[in-house]
Amino acid sequence: MEYANQLSEYAPAQSAAEVEERVAQIRKLAERNHNAEVYKFCYSAIDITTLSCNDSVTSVTEFARKTAEFYGKYPHIPNVASICIYPSFVETVGLAIDGTPMRITSVAGGFPAAQTFLEVKALEVAMAIENGADEIDIVLNVGRMLTGEYNEAANEVEVIRSEMDRDVVLKVIIESGALKTPELIRKASVLSMLAGADFIKTSTGKIDVAATPEAAVVMCEAIRDFYNKTGRKVGFKAAGGVRTAEDAALYYTIVEEILGKEWLTTELFRIGASSAANNLLSAIEGKEIKYY
C-alpha cells in the first residue's frame, strides 16, 4: 500500500523548541501525580521485561514464577500487565504463569535491529503467537525511515499485521532515539498506525537514547491526531530508561494531558521496564522493596 502520500494529511510536528516547552509544562503538572494511586496504576501498566543474552529456561522460569507469585504477596497492588521476553521463551512463560490473568508479550521480527528478511520477521512473529504470545513488539525498520523509504518501512508492518489474528496486540517500536527529530518521530508514529499498529512504542532499550519525554509528547500528539482523523484508538508505550516512580508518573501525565484520562488504561498505556518495578513498589509501600 502507498503510505507516504498519506503523511501530507497530517500537520507537521512541532519544532524541537516547542516540544521542549511542552515537556517543561507537563513536568510541573506531573507533581500532582506523585502519589500511591498513580504509582499503583503505573505498576499495573508495566510489561515486566527480561531481554538479556544471559536469559535461559531456568532464569526465565524463575522470573515468571516470581511475577505470578506477586498476586498472593501483594494482593492490594494490581500486578503487572505482562511479561516481555524473547520468542523462544514464550512457552516457558506460559507454563509458569498458567492460571493467572497475566499476558505474554514477545519481542519478535528480528528484535532489536529488525535487520533481517521480512519472511524471517513474519515467521518469528507467527511462531511466537503459535507458542502462546498475546502481544508482539516489533521494530519499525529504522534504516528505511532514515533514508526516506517510508512506504517500504510501513509495508513491513502491514505484512506482519496481516499474518496476525486481530486479538493479538501489535506494538511497533519506532526507536525514537535513532530517529532524533520531532518530524521523523511523528512520521514513524503515523506510518506505524496507518499500517496497523495497536500501540506505538518509544524504544527497544538497546541503544544509547531510549524513551524521552520529548519523544513521548510527539508520539502522543500523533496518536491524538490519528484518532481525530480515523476514530481508532492506538496505545502508547514508553520503554527504556524508565527507572523511577517519578519517571513513570511523568509519562502518565503526558498521556493524561495530551490524550486524556480515557487513555489511562492498560489497554492503551504501557511501560516497558524492569528496574522501575522495584522503585514503584518502594514508592507505593513507603519503604525500600527489592522484589525483582
Residues that are catalytic = 137, 201, 237
What is the grid cell recorded at 43? 505498576
What is the grid cell recorded at 273? 521496564
Tell how far CA 281 is from the center of its chain: 20
Smallest Cα–Cα separation from 199: which of 134, 135, 262? 135
Q: How far apart are CA 48 and CA 135, in angstroms?
A: 13
List the Cα angle 47/207/272 in 5-degree steps. 10
Burial code of 185-204, b = ≥16 C-beta within 10 A, e = fewer? Answer: bbbbbbbbbbbbbbbbbbbb
Smallest Cα–Cα separation from 17: which of 181, 147, 247, 146? 181
What backbone torsions phi and psi does residue 271 show, to the nearest 5 degrees?
A: -125, 125
User: What three-state secondary structure class fits 118?
Assistant: helix
